Chain A
Amino acid sequence: MALGAPAVIPKPHTSMRHPRKARSLSRQDSVFGLLMVAPVLVYTGIFFGIPTLLMVWMSLHDWPLLGDPTFVGMGNFSTAFADPVFRHAVVFSLGYALVQTPLVVALALLMASLVRRQSKGSALFRIIYLMPYVMGFGSSAFLWYWMVDDRTGAVKAVLLAVGINVNQSAWLSEFIPGVIVVITLTIWKTVGFFMLLMMSGMQSISDEVYEAATLDGANKVKQFFFITLPLLRPTLVMVFIFAITWGVLVFDQFYILTSGRPDNRTVSVVHWIFTNSFVRFDLGYGAALSVLVVLGLAAITYVQLKMLRNPED
């Protein structure tokens, strides 16, 4: 028996219906369906559609916080392409997302494998792993700010206890150490959430598949690579999209911990949007940068969906 075969879900036979009847049914269905989703459509329209349109409109203007906006066409966009801080922030945010994502996904996968089955203590560990996720990024960042403090931080105490004495005082002012601190914080903070997603994905895989594989002589490692991973694909797609999106949109952690240091090299795209909108009060330029980020993320998500699509679909 081929591994993974039982997971192929037979497609419903729709072609046997009478074409006319099917059409009229589908019209009724679609009206009913539309009614059902209407509240969500209204909600999305108000809280996403209108703000998005306003953002696009603002991006075409020189729009100060106080005073009248002036139409500048694509002026903000050409400024953005020539803005060295924005260009660096794009590269930095993408790079951060690319480094961060595989680490958090791999760890979440490992943790989900450990706690997926109901066993003594697994519920406790699930809660422990998920706990940091319910804290805000702002408060977690301040917690880590103190943890890595050179004089009073817990990290220093732990390192000293094992005989390592490192000068940590410049960690948050230097590029690599600063980024490592932020990555560690983000993994600690979000891994529980991804673990939860993957755990439910894993739990939806029937035990019979594993039993059959065991009978066929597949060991745990083989089962993981040939059953768990392929059948987890839809969940993994979602996890990757979340992780990459959150990575590109990173803000609070860097804002609080490194504040752009050194020399604005850890300024993320969202931090730069924030600075232009709410420090320089240039809302039009901030909106233009936001439009670029939304388009960029849409493109990245599209590519991810293409790359991770099940070839059998």
Chain B
Amino acid sequence: MRTPRNIFASISAAGLLLLTACGDGGDEETPESMTLWARGVAEDQAFLEALIEAYEDETGIAIEATFIPQEQFVQNFGTAAATGDGPDIALVDVAYMPYFASTGTLDPLTEQIQGLDYSEELAPSMLEAGTWDDEVYGVPFYLDVSMLYWNKDLFEEAGLDPEAPPADWNEFADAANAISDLSDDVNGFYVSGACGGCMTFHIFPFIWASGGDVMEGEDEATRPTLDDPVVTETYEFLQELWDDGVMPNGAQTDSGTNYGGGFGAGDLGMTMLGSWNISQLLTDEVDIDFGVAGMPGRNGEDPVSFIGGDSITVPADSDYPEAAFDFIEWITGEDAVEIMVDYNVMPSRMDLIEELMVPIDERYQAFADAVATGQTPQNVDQNAIYMDATSPMMTLNEAIFTGADIEAAQESAQTSAEGIAGE
């Protein structure tokens, strides 16, 4: 696999010379203000506004932030970029980084990123997902990392070791069943079955840790592999869990509104959640004792987490590309990260997760470990193939709950996915 470290190594000294030439001493005037677009998730807004205020206080450069509803961000940003009306800085969901990177919408930042002291501390899989034809187009900004959360109280009640998360899928199934057997109100496991994005977050780690994948190749050559034998094993395993009744009925139709399945309420044994959720579980008045670990592979292989989040980018039509990168450097620097941590937002800097978040709660250590080894899908059609309600992967997800033949469902999903990839 191509790693960002290799990418950087492959960039010659000429790049560095260019960087020196184009650095702070460039022709660009210092702007009075710059525009920034971000998707309008309420949690994002609060911490971004705090960051922007701190930046303005420090530099005197105003940042005019526009928050666009998440569902409309790609269309609005894409249309604005196409007509030259885009912002100077944009925060892009990493799922869409390959699309924007491949269409010339963004400025390549490879050399500038290489010039950062902490370039090797940035979440590697997110850098990789924002890389297209050996150029890096986005700086990882904040992360959402999928992990296995388990309720220690319920583990204990079910006669399991509360300090030992499942080491392989057999132990996982045993634990899920033992917890479900406790009472009708308690369930062993939960997925948001009708939420495409949630399902990729829940399921990809099962597949990756067991040595499989849902796509292969890179850049233009990426193709879907929903017919991978490990995908078969994963879906058959999840189907079995559903048939055993370890998931509550509502899992099948949950379009994300019940994401987490009420883990905080204490009636769920295990679920796959992101780093946002640990913050919520720590800040809300939640009265459960829980643990966080990576989801192991089928036979106990090392976990591979899903690393999602937002990358920060400079659109190709930015009026102030150099000042925009200065902003990016500031916002990924330690002062800014301290503000993010105050808002319980996980930064993309592996060193600072360890330094600033682990002291708050030692469970953050699992996340710090996961970021280094985690994976971020890189596919220009990621939404259309894996996440959208009509996507091939969503029809495959249905098979978990309907009892349909997994291999047949895979074959049909793979055919549709190849059709989309070939468009």
Contacts and interface: CB of A to CB of B under 8 A. Distances in A.
Interface of A: 64-67, 85, 145, 149-151, 167, 169-173, 255-256, 259-264, 267, 271-272, 275, 278-282
Contacts of B75: 65, 278
A64 B74 CA distance: 13
B205 to A, nearest CB: 24
B104 A264 contact: no
B249 A167 contact: yes
B30 interface: no
Nearest to A168: B249
A281 B253 contact: no
Nearest to A149: B250
A74 to B, nearest CB: 17
B78 A170 contact: no
A170 B423 contact: no
B369 interface: no
A275 B388 contact: yes
Interface string B382-399: 011000111100110010
A235 to B, nearest CB: 38
A150 B398 contact: no
Contact of A170 (B82, B252, B381, B395): B252
Given A170-B249, A173-B253, A66 B78 contact: yes
Contact of B79 (A65, A170, A256): A65
Contacts, number: 83
Interface residues of B, number: 33
Given A151-B250, A172-B194, A261 B78 contact: no
B10 interface: no
The secondary structure that dominates the A interface is loop
A64 B82 CA distance: 10
Contact of B253 (A64, A169, A263): A169
- Top 6 nearest A-B pairs by Cβ distance? A169-B249, A259-B389, A66-B103, A172-B253, A65-B78, A279-B388
Given A151-B250, A278-B75, A259 B423 contact: no
A255 B390 CA distance: 10
Contacts of A65: 74-75, 78-79, 82
B75 to A, nearest CB: 6
Contact of B255 (A85, A170, A259, A263): A259
B214 interface: no
The secondary structure that dominates the B interface is helix
28 contacts: A66-B82, A66-B99, A66-B105, A145-B255, A150-B249, A151-B248, A151-B249, A167-B249, A169-B250, A170-B252, A170-B401, A171-B253, A173-B252, A173-B401, A255-B389, A259-B194, A259-B394, A261-B389, A262-B402, A264-B395, A275-B384, A275-B390, A279-B383, A279-B388, A279-B390, A280-B384, A280-B420, A281-B99
A275 B387 CA distance: 12
Contacts of A169: 249-250, 252-253
Contacts of A171: 253
B420 A66 contact: no
Contacts of A66: 78, 81-82, 99-100, 103-105
A217 B98 CA distance: 77
B96 to A, nearest CB: 10
B208 to A, nearest CB: 24
Contacts of B81: 66
B12 interface: no
B78 A281 contact: yes
Contacts of A280: 381, 384, 420, 423
Given A66-B105, A280-B423, A263 B395 contact: yes
B6 interface: no
A267 B114 CA distance: 46
A261 B248 CA distance: 19
A170 B388 CA distance: 20
Given A66-B103, A173-B401, A264 B390 contact: yes
B257 interface: yes
Given A85-B390, A259-B389, A264-B395, A279 B384 contact: yes
A259 B394 CA distance: 10
Report which residue of A260, A271, A282 has the largest number of chain B beta carbons within 10 angstroms of its beta carbon: A260
Contacts of B250: 149-151, 169
Nearest to B391: A279
A285 B316 CA distance: 27
Nearest to B194: A259
Interface in B297-323: none
Nearest to A274: B390
Contacts of A85: 390
Contacts of B401: 170, 173
A275 B75 CA distance: 12
Given A65-B79, A255-B389, 6 more contacts: A173-B252, A262-B398, A262-B402, A263-B398, A264-B395, A272-B390
A6 B398 CA distance: 61
A175 B70 CA distance: 29
B287 to A, nearest CB: 21
Report which residue of A261, A262, A278, A280 has the largest number of chain B beta carbons within 10 angstroms of its beta carbon: A261
Interface in B372-421: 381, 383-384, 388-391, 394-395, 398, 401-402, 420
